[in-house]
Amino acid sequence: MDRRKMRETVLGGLIRNNPTFVLVLGTCPTIAMTTSLFQAFAMGLATTFVLIFSNLFVSLLRNLIPDKVRIPCYIVIISTFVIIVQMVMRRFLPDLYSTMQAFIALIVVNCIILARAESYASCNPPLYSMLDGISMGIGFTAALCLIGIVREFFAGGSFAGMQIPGFPAMSGVGASAFGFIVFGCLMALFNFIVEKIEARKRSMRRASLPLASRAESLEEVQQ
């Protein structure tokens, strides 16, 4: 296994290609399912499960699936795992299932899953594809949880269902419009921090180069 590729795949889903904050995919569940931390976490887990297994199977079958019918095949694979999630949730988490039912079914058309199947799993080996699914899933779950924490705090004055003394619930803040505002602010903050870290890394790399190479590298950056 190529270590560098592995590292890129893992960091890609979490930071550089974070599906929520960088690629801005799956905005519908991001807004709908982040009114509380618990719901956001459950949605993230369900999506992660579907991502991992759909990526694995798309990758395993990538040489068998004809190009013309690849999208219908991906949809069949993805919907199979979404239905499995539905069945398991219905059996073991009926209360959670009754509140999330509509959105669990919508995972089938979640852009993140189809996008990863089409752009990554269909041209990479199974192990990398699974890793990509895990990384993208964790990135998506973390982003949803972050938005969920902020929204729940302002709308309900609570954290993970526990009331925080001194912070009353604000009416109207639970609406989707506020969800978009929180989403936008966190996206801006995330990209700002990532950009700062990348810039620092670049300058450190430049500083460690010999003088001649440093000038070349600076030219490259300027270009």
Does 173 sit near another protein (CB under 8 A)? no
Q: Determine the Cα–Cα distance for residues 193 and 195; give it in Å rounded to an integer.
A: 5
CB 38 within 8 A of CB 161: yes
Does 158 sit near another protein (CB under 8 A)? no
Does 163 sit near another protein (CB under 8 A)? no
Cα–Cα nearest to 138, from 86, 130, 36, 35: 130
The interface mask with another protein, positions 28-47, x = CB under 8 A, is ----x--x------------
Q: Determine the Cα–Cα distance for residues 218 and 120; give it in Å rounded to an integer.
A: 32
Helices (H) and strands (E) in the chain, counts: 9, 2
CB 108 within 8 A of CB 65: no
Residue 159 bridge partners (DSSP): 162
Contact pick of 68, 162, 172, 223 for another protein (by CB under 8 A): 68
Based on CB atoms, which residue is closest to another protein, 69 or 218?
Answer: 69
Contact pick of 99, 158, 194, 214 for another protein (by CB under 8 A): 99
Interface residues with another protein (CB under 8 A) are: 32, 35, 61, 64-66, 68-69, 72-73, 76-77, 79-80, 83-84, 87-88, 90-92, 94, 97-99, 101-103, 105, 174-175
